[in-house]
Amino acid sequence: MAADPMHLDYAAISDVGRFRKDNQDSGYVGPWLLAVCDGVGGAARGDIASSTAIHQLRKLDERPTDDLLGQVAGALHRAHDRIGELVDEDPSIDGTSTTATVALFDGRRVGIGHVGDSRGYLYRDGEITRLTTDHTFVQSLIDEGRISEADSRVHPHRNLILKALDGKHDADPDLFYIDLVPGDRLLLCSDGVNAGLDDGRIADIISSGSPDYAAVELVRSALEAGSTDNVTCVVADVLEGETAPEPAAPVLVGAAADLKRRRGGAMGGLFRGHRSGDTGELEPITAEIPDDVPFAISSDPIDPEEARYAPRPPRRFTWLSRLFGLLLIIGVLWAGLAVVWSWSQQQYYVGEEDGAVVIFRGVNASLPGLELSSPYETSDVSIDRLPDFDAERVQEGIAAGSLDEARETVANLAQRQDPATAEPSTGSTSQPSPAGSTATAGTGT
């Protein structure tokens, strides 16, 4: 096999940050592979997702074949599937997921695989280039020209990612090549870095010094700038020659490193031993959040990490959708009321008004502030001349199936009037005038 024209000199470090209890980031760097994963899920254990992914991805760290992107895609999908298996085995971690940014080196170029909002950068000839595009809601707003990069840093949904490895939804990673030249510097980092540092500041920091120095300075500067998240950096220099004079051991950091060692007590010193497999974390700093910290932790009792991953983009124009929904509900209610009102105006019953027997159109009921019936025809039958039983029925309302049935009821009542109490009546009724007035008609002596 032909000699590789270039090799990598690398370093990695991960820090829990100043405000979080657990480190849910994981990172790895070796002669052929750079990888950073940022776990998502809060109580659902994002550290499990990120460490699982890294332990799957690190299997790529050997001289690759020609199919760089195929190998990267395959490793990402295996990590994705393994996370799904863990969730099936332990439903309590349902909701866990992780970002992943991977660079597989073959001596001439890197094959990049990317899912989520961890980032990859290339520093070359004094200029920095962002290699990856964030799979986030705010990035979609930036791409559409609706907000600026500066706006995105303070947007209330800046932590919402649209893609991740979760074992459920399609991973669909971005895959592409980057050709390298001696002198290039590669940086892979979790979003804890760019939460506090813009691209220009990142370029200033990585423009000089060794990979170790650059990684440490990035972590320190991100925390001093107010980043409240875990911070993980992998830095690699592209150097001439097939192999390094003193090949460095692979570096595993963050949640993917030895958890027992990481949680077994205080660290001996700042950044101690990250070359030997430690996480390289700073001592957790117990302090109040300064008033001027631009990325303060939410006071919401729900861990922001729990709501960070949304596998589909949020719906746009939510207010318009809600307005349409409200109008639809009002329209349905209005149509329903119209049907009920139309039906009620075809109903009749016999009742009493001002001592007379009256045919009402509508329903013998009422609602607060709304009458469901109105007088339709007034007869000359007086309720005082009816037997007590009939009078009570009229006062309660006698239902009728139609107007003709109501008129027949009135005629029957007229026949049962007591002739001794008043002048006899024919029981005739009168139609209401257009103005709503009524007149009675009858015979008498």
Of 355, 340, 405, 345, which is closest to residue 376 (Cα–Cα)? 345
Same domain, residue pair 53 and 202: yes
Q: Burial letters for 118-140: b for 16+ Cβ neighbours within 10 Å, e otherwise?
A: bbbbbbeeeebeebbebbbbbbb
Same domain, residue pair 302 and 388: no
Instruction: Provide the pLDDT for residue 435.
Output: 38
Here the tokens at position 423 are 């002048």
Same domain, residue pair 359 and 301: no
171 close to 77: Cβ distance less than 8 angstroms: yes
In angstroms, the CA 29 to CA 236 distance is: 8
Same domain, residue pair 402 and 268: no
Q: Is residue 333 in some structural domain?
A: no
Same domain, residue pair 180 and 61: yes
Burial of 51 from C-beta contacts in 10 A (0-12 / 13-18 / 19+): buried
Same domain, residue pair 243 and 151: yes
Q: Is residue 423 in some structural domain?
A: yes
Instruction: Provide the pLDDT for residue 3.
Output: 53
Same domain, residue pair 109 and 179: yes
Q: Is residue 424 in some structural domain?
A: yes
Count of the separate structural domains present in the chain: 2
249 close to 225: Cβ distance less than 8 angstroms: no
Rg (CA), the chain: 40
Answering whether pTM is above 0.75, one says no
Q: Is residue 237 in some structural domain?
A: yes
- Please give the DSSP secondary-structure letter assigned to residue 69: H
Q: Is residue 260 in some structural domain?
A: yes
Cβ-based neighbour number of residue 388 at 10 Å: 7
Helix (H, G, I), strand (E, B) or coil at 368: coil
Same domain, residue pair 351 and 272: no
Q: Is residue 329 in some structural domain?
A: no
Same domain, residue pair 301 and 357: no
The pLDDT profile of the chain, 445 residues, written as one tens digit per residue, is 455 689 999 999 999 998 888 899 999 999 999 999 999 876 668 999 999 999 999 999 999 988 999 999 999 999 999 999 999 999 999 989 999 999 999 999 999 999 999 999 999 999 999 999 999 999 999 999 999 888 888 888 888 999 999 999 888 999 999 999 999 999 999 999 998 899 999 999 999 999 999 999 999 999 999 998 999 999 999 999 877 667 689 999 999 985 544 444 333 334 333 333 344 433 333 333 334 333 333 333 445 666 677 665 555 566 777 788 888 899 888 888 788 777 777 889 999 998 899 999 888 877 776 777 889 889 888 888 888 888 889 888 898 888 899 899 999 888 888 776 544 444 455 555 443 433 333 333 3
Here the tokens at position 247 are 């090949």
Beta bridge partners of 175: 113
Same domain, residue pair 392 and 251: no
DSSP string, 173-231: -EEEEEE--TT-EEEEE-HHHHTT--HHHHHHHHTSS-HHHHHHHHHHHHHHTT--S-E
Instruction: Provide the pLDDT for residue 136.
Output: 93
427 phi-psi bin (left φ>0, alpha ψ -120 to 50, beta other): left
First to last CA, the chain: 132
Instruction: Provide the pLDDT for residue 439.
Output: 37
Helices 199-206 and 211-224: crossing angle in degrees, nearest 10, is 140
Instruction: Provide the pLDDT for residue 307.
Output: 62
Domain that holds residue 419: 345-430
Of 29, 37, 36, which is closest to residue 9 (Cα–Cα)? 29
Instruction: Provide the pLDDT for residue 286.
Output: 35
Kindly report the length of the chain.
445
Q: Is residue 442 in some structural domain?
A: no
CATH of the domain at 160: 3.60.40.10
Beta bridge partners of 103: 34, 112
Q: Is residue 437 in some structural domain?
A: no
Same domain, residue pair 231 and 186: yes
Same domain, residue pair 305 and 354: no
